[in-house]
């Protein structure tokens, strides 16, 4: 029997998600990609089976099952449809600001709606001129009595136009860098707020990615998360916990592509035998499977670490390594899976070309993999390892 890191209860929930993914979502995946339409039917499926509840504590209407199981759910759904897996991942990303920095009144007002799936949410940090360099953001928030007035725009925001709640970052002190950033929760119907455009994309086509515009948008001061000037710290704490959601999406894509290529290699014959028995193809399949298993080890380690209360630099480094490795594996493995199928891998009749297109974004959003390498190295340089070299000449 293969090693199984999940408990019996966790396996039961994983198997439920796996069954829903294969029976209800997989048949829709190609159409979602082809139509470019947001899959509201998948949202309803998640609501009916309480999958959004995996990301929330019981006191706010969730299941309280922890981070590891939430990542497993994203992985399982992403094996068949990365767009649908992203819906789950962004429900975590968009709600983490409330969970980490919200006061009790804010949590009670919003989290139950997000846990039930009544509302979807989004995370709005990136701007057209500030992606990795968030201190360069130009969106401002000016206090005016009991409200803040927001002006500016955000770009490449997942769930734009379908979310009812946005975690938005803006400069309350434009003269400062990171200490001038504050965080807000903004409802979709706030005066002065609109979604200006939805972007056409190479992959994850059923997911909306859009530009948000704030033109004297008024937000209640009660919607400030934490205190003024704490926005950057909140954003980084959010990303430490949300990046592995993208890692889970990447791992799902990689494992789904591996499984499909394996079944194809068992039945497609050349020179009198299945192509999987030819050494070069066999070697590719072996590498694909090994990379997936190594990535899963990092992902599950991260989920367990969060569930055990690990925080700070240790979590930052582990999060960055998990996101980096799982998403690099996603791109490598889906590319190899297309190669295993040859010409068939390149046509849209088969799912692998879609998986390869979907995989690319996982190396880019929620912090490019180049940034992840910088984060990992920065945390390494803080560590004291001299004792490991004691006695080495």
Architecture of domain 121-229: Beta Barrel (2.40)
**N-to-C CA span, the chain:** 45
Candidate CATH numbers 3.20.20.80, 1.20.140.10, 3.40.640.10, 3.90.1150.10; the one for domain 232-383 = 1.20.140.10
User: pLDDT at position 300, please?
Assistant: 97
Lowest mean pLDDT segment, chosen from 149-153, 275-279, 374-378? 275-279
199 has catalytic annotation: no
Q: Is the pLDDT of residue 366 over 60?
A: yes
Question: pLDDT per residue over 283-331, tens digit each?
Answer: 999 999 999 999 999 999 999 999 999 999 999 999 999 999 999 999 9
Residues of the chain with CATH 1.10.540.10: 8-116
Q: Is the pLDDT of residue 1 over 60?
A: no
Q: Identify the CA nearest to 50 among candidates 116, 121, 122, 130.
A: 116
On average, the pLDDT of the chain sits at 95
Gap between the Cα atoms of 250 and 256, Å rounded:
10
Confidence tier at 386 by pLDDT (50, 70, 90): confident
Question: pLDDT per residue over 87-130, tens digit each?
Answer: 999 999 999 999 999 999 999 999 999 999 999 999 999 999 88
Catalytic entry in 75, 211, 366, 379: 366
Question: pLDDT per residue over 35-80, tens digit each?
Answer: 999 999 999 999 999 999 999 999 999 999 999 999 999 999 999 9
Q: Is the pLDDT of residue 4 over 80?
A: no
CA trace torsion 82, 85, 87, 93 (10° rounding): -110
Q: Is the pLDDT of residue 177 over 90?
A: no
User: pLDDT at position 5, please?
Assistant: 85
Q: Label residue 209 left, alpha or beta by phi (over 0 means left) and psi (-120 to 50 means alpha).
A: beta
Say which CATH topology domain 8-116 has. Butyryl-Coa Dehydrogenase, subunit A; domain 1 (1.10.540)
Residues of the chain with CATH 2.40.110.10: 121-229
The H or E element spanning position 121 is: strand 121-124
User: pLDDT at position 102, please?
Assistant: 98
Confidence tier at 134 by pLDDT (50, 70, 90): confident
Residues of the chain with CATH 1.20.140.10: 232-383
Gap between the Cα atoms of 389 and 391, Å rounded:
6
How much of the chain, in percent, has pLDDT values that exceed 90? Answer: 92
Question: pLDDT per residue over 199-239, tens digit each?
Answer: 999 999 999 999 999 999 999 999 999 999 999 999 999 99
């Amino acid at each position: 029997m293969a090693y199984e890191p999940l408990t019996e209860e966790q396996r039961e929930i994983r198997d439920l998600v796996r069954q829903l993914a294969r029976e209800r979502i997989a048949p829709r995946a190609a159409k979602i990609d082809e139509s470019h339409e947001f899959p509201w039917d998948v949202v309803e499926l998640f609501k009916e089976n309480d999958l959004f509840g995996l990301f929330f504590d019981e006191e706010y209407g969730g299941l309280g099952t922890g981070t590891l199981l939430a990542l497993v759910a994203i992985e399982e759904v992403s094996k068949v449809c990365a767009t649908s897996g992203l819906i789950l991942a962004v429900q975590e990303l968009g709600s983490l600001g409330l969970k980490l920095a919200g006061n009790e009144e804010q949590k009670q007002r919003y989290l139950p709606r997000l846990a039930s799936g009544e509302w979807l949410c989004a995370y709005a940090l990136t701007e057209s001129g500030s992606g990795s360099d968030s201190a360069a953001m130009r969106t401002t928030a000016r206090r005016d009595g009991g409200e803040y007035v927001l002006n500016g725009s955000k770009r490449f925001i997942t769930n734009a136009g379908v979310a009812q709640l946005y975690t938005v970052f803006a400069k309350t002190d434009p003269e400062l860098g990171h200490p001038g950033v504050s965080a807000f929760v903004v409802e979709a119907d706030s005066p002065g707020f609109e979604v200006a455009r939805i972007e056409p994309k190479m992959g994850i086509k059923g997911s909306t990615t859009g530009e948000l515009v704030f033109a004297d948008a008024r937000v209640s001061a009660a919607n400030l998360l934490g205190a003024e000037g704490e926005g950057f710290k909140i954003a980084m704490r959010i990303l430490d916990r949300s990046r592995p959601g993208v890692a889970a999406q990447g791992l799902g894509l990689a494992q789904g592509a591996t499984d499909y290529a394996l079944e194809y290699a068992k039945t497609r014959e050349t020179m009198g035998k299945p192509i999987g028995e030819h050494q070069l193809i066999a070697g590719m399949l072996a590498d694909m499977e090994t990379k997936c298993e190594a990535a899963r080890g990092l992902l599950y380690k991260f989920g367990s670490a969060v569930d055990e209360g690990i925080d700070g630099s240790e979590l930052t480094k582990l999060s960055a390594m998990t996101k980096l490795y799982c998403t690099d594996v996603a791109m490598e493995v889906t590319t190899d899976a297309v190669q295993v199928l040859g010409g068939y891998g390149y046509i849209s009749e088969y799912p692998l070309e879609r998986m390869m297109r979907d995989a690319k974004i996982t190396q880019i959003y929620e912090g490019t993999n180049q940034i992840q390498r910088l984060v990992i190295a920065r945390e390494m340089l803080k560590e004291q390892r001299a004792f490991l070299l004691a006695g080495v000449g």
